[in-house]
Amino acid sequence: MLYYCIKQCMWGFQRIPIRYLEPNFANVLYLSQKNRMYACDVYFLDCAIRHKSLLLTLDKKMKIIAQSLNIEVLEV
């Protein structure tokens, strides 16, 4: 049963379209310092802002900051 659940999760995860984007480093560093977050985490916020896309996260702090930046968050 556990194997089946893991297999289903992986199948679903592989269907999420992923595109690699060049970050706006100045904005990433600014948001990182302002929100006391690692730049690698803020990269996702920057991409969501610039591409007007949803943010998928399990990180509560990132969710709160994203909402404060008017980024739509998809909760899982």
Write down the pLDDT at residue 17.
83
pLDDT band (50, 70, 90) for residue 23: confident
Question: In angstroms, rounded to a whole number, what is the distance separating the alpha carbons of residues 18 and 21?
Answer: 10
Q: Which helix (H) or strand (E) is 55 found in, with range?
A: strand 55-56
Write down the pLDDT at residue 45.
95
pLDDT band (50, 70, 90) for residue 49: very high
